[in-house]
Amino acid sequence: MRRAAGALLMAGAALAQVTWAPRFEVGGAFPNLVLLGVVGVTWTLGARAGMAWACIGGLLLDLTSSGAIGPHAVALVAGAYMVGFWARNLENPTAVQVALTAAVTTLVYSAVLVFTAGLLGQPAPVIGVAIQLTLAAAVYNALLMPFAIEVLRRLRSLTRAAEPA
């Protein structure tokens, strides 16, 4: 039940990210819903679950992009690993710490995407534009992260209540 709910949530996040999230653009950036989901899962379920869902969410994003299969997955796994390491060293994280991990994960994610685009010979934004968009996205994702983690915690409690004893 929980895996099915997670799969639906990740697929919904990926579809929403590529369809309607760009309409909420601020400063050239829009929310990365899959990244927010991966960071939230890593905080609530641990690094292993976060990296597994990072692979799934990244592959879904790769399938909706015109580029190669793999860069989004690799970028999200790197971010989930970092959040998992961070979460392992904190017992009771604050909303600020969780938001900060979303911002740092956005920086890592974007850097990996730009780097892999260069390696694969795909078009990448000019470094100045890439930095501007990355910083705007980091702030945007950091502001949304406390809300995203609360939604994930509520969904987790609902799926626990729905499971047979």
Contacts of 13 (CB under 8 A, 6+ apart): 33, 34, 36, 37, 57
Q: Show pLDDT as tens, one digit a residue, over the chain (165 residues).
A: 678 877 888 999 999 999 999 999 988 899 999 999 999 999 988 999 999 999 999 999 999 988 889 999 999 999 999 999 988 888 888 899 999 999 999 999 999 999 999 899 888 888 999 999 999 999 999 999 999 988 888 887 877 766 665
The third-level CATH classification (topology) of the domain covering 2-162 is Arp2/3 complex 21 kDa subunit ARPC3 (1.10.1760)
- Per-residue pLDDT tens over the stretch 103-144: 999 999 999 999 999 899 888 888 999 999 999 999 999 999
What is the C-alpha separation between 133 and 131, in angstroms, rounded?
6
Calculate the alpha carbon distances from 36 to 85, 87, 96, 99, 121 in Å.
17, 15, 14, 10, 28
What is the C-alpha separation between 6 and 69, in angstroms, rounded?
21
